[in-house]
A and B are shown apart, each in its own frame.
Chain A
């Protein structure tokens, strides 16, 4: 079983819809959770970074962490064609000190298509 599971999609929705992207994980000790966006032929870029449980909002994007269920979500409101990309979740295992190298554990990514 992979440490982080993510449905590869593609997920296709009409413009303006609310999008929900999800990841599940197996290690209950994970505390740092990230969402990256990767456009075609580009490198990933950090979208949201959350610590522990709860919600974090940034414009049209909301990241949600449910540690009891080992489940994280990224919601996109009023989706736009420019949101079409692959979305990757990533997590940091608590194996090292705060100042040392951290190793991200990545989901495989969900391809999102927003239809105009």
Chain B
């Protein structure tokens, strides 16, 4: 089944404890992206990747890191999480990064930082 998977689905952690949220897609997509979703604010892009080893900042990149060493994986790293990073996170992928390609979303990771 073609899909985007994220792990973990739920995570509660404490301020300053480094964490990684994994994202993997099995559709051979070039483009991958991370979003956070907060009540009343909609989805905001954190980072995106047009292809392997090509990443760039989105709207809200502060406090996050990403890497794209393989086409299928795009992990999101929080080096020192803070409570304002408590949110619902979505990974998405599309065949390519232009507007003619539909983005497919993962199921989400709900992160709570205490």
Binding site for B on A (CB under 8 A): 4, 6, 8, 32, 41-46, 49, 88, 90, 92, 98-104, 106-109
Binding site for A on B (CB under 8 A): 4, 31, 39-45, 48, 50, 56, 58-59, 90, 92, 97-100, 102-108
A103 and B17 alpha carbons, distance in the complex (Å): 30
Known: A98-B98, A99-B98, A103-B58. A109 touches B42 (CB 8 A): yes
Contact between B31 and A46 (Cβ–Cβ < 8 Å)?
A: no
List residues of chain A with CB within 8 A of the CB of B50: 101
List residues of chain B with CB within 8 A of the CB of A6: 42
Contact between A32 and B43 (Cβ–Cβ < 8 Å)?
A: no
Listed by A's residue number, 29 A-B pairs whose Cβ atoms lie within 8 Å are A4-B42, A41-B108, A42-B108, A43-B92, A43-B105, A43-B106, A44-B43, A44-B105, A45-B104, A46-B102, A49-B102, A88-B42, A92-B99, A98-B98, A98-B100, A99-B98, A101-B48, A101-B98, A102-B98, A103-B58, A104-B43, A104-B103, A106-B42, A106-B43, A106-B44, A108-B39, A108-B40, A108-B41, A108-B42
